Amino acid sequence: MDFIKINISLGVAVKESEDSDIYEVLRKAENKMYFKKLKESKEAKLLMIKALKSRLEKITYETKYHYERLKDLCIKLAKALNLSDREKEELILLCEFHDIGKIGVSKSILQKQGSLNEEEWEDIKRHSEIGYYIAKECKNASPVDELILIHHERWDGKGYPGLLKKDEIPVVARVFAIADAYDIMVTGTPYKKPMNNKQALNEIKDKAGSQFDPNLAEIFIKIMGEVEQVV
């Protein structure tokens, strides 16, 4: 596992006089050790997340370009909805970290050329939970740990992990779901050819009220339709 950084933390204190309490000196050394360990632990977590993301790009079709496109789509919809700055920040973080849990899914499943069987699909669905636990350990991603857990929930409640439906799903996750689905459709996957803009928007329209929030889907379709006309 080349992304794991192993380190050891040391703390040093000196007994400067014969009268100094050796236990107090040891306490000072121990405190310095823990302070250094805490500092290095934060750095190690950041390095681990960076390495996980790099590894993930190598074993899936989701690259940094996918994340950048997602951010652009999400912010377009967020602005149309007048979402708060905090919600926009959450969207950006969710774009960056949503699939980090796929690092815990078999490479053979992630790169399979063809439809997944039931067992493989169950393995794929675990990635949101794995991502949730990874995000909790990283300060950069922890603000969206719960959004990572639920980013595959559906409007009709048939998503996973199946905890929420309709307006119970935070608006950030509902916005993300539409943008993510659209980008995957227009760029394609190893087992699905890419669609054009019109085909992808028709797919979103067909699944409005089942997979997607119908109101958000309508706004997104309007936005992307206007973009196509400008282009």
pLDDT tens, 97-112?
898 888 888 888 888 8
Q: How is residue 99 annotated by DSSP?
A: T
**Do 144 and 90 contact (CB within 8 A), yes or no?**
yes
- According to the model, what pLDDT value does residue 230 have? 41
Per residue in 175-222, pLDDT (tens digit) is 999 999 999 999 987 677 899 999 999 999 999 999 999 999 999 999
User: Rounded to two decimals, what is the model's pTM?
Assistant: 0.78
State how far the Cα of 207 lies from the Cα of 84, in Å rounded to an integer: 27
Tell me the H-state helices in 84-117: 85-97, 107-110
CB atoms within 10 A of CB 59: 15
| φ, ψ at 208 (rounded to 5°) | -65, 130
State how far the Cα of 54 lies from the Cα of 170, in Å rounded to an integer: 28
Ranges of residues in the chain with a pLDDT under 70 are: 1-11, 27-48, 61-63, 190, 227-231
Token representation of residue 75: 């912010």
**Do 151 and 91 contact (CB within 8 A), yes or no?**
no
For residue 68, the surrounding DSSP H or E stretch is helix 64-80
Could you identify the residue written with the tokens 């307006």?
167
CB atoms within 10 A of CB 15: 13
Q: What percent of the chain has pLDDT over 70?
A: 81
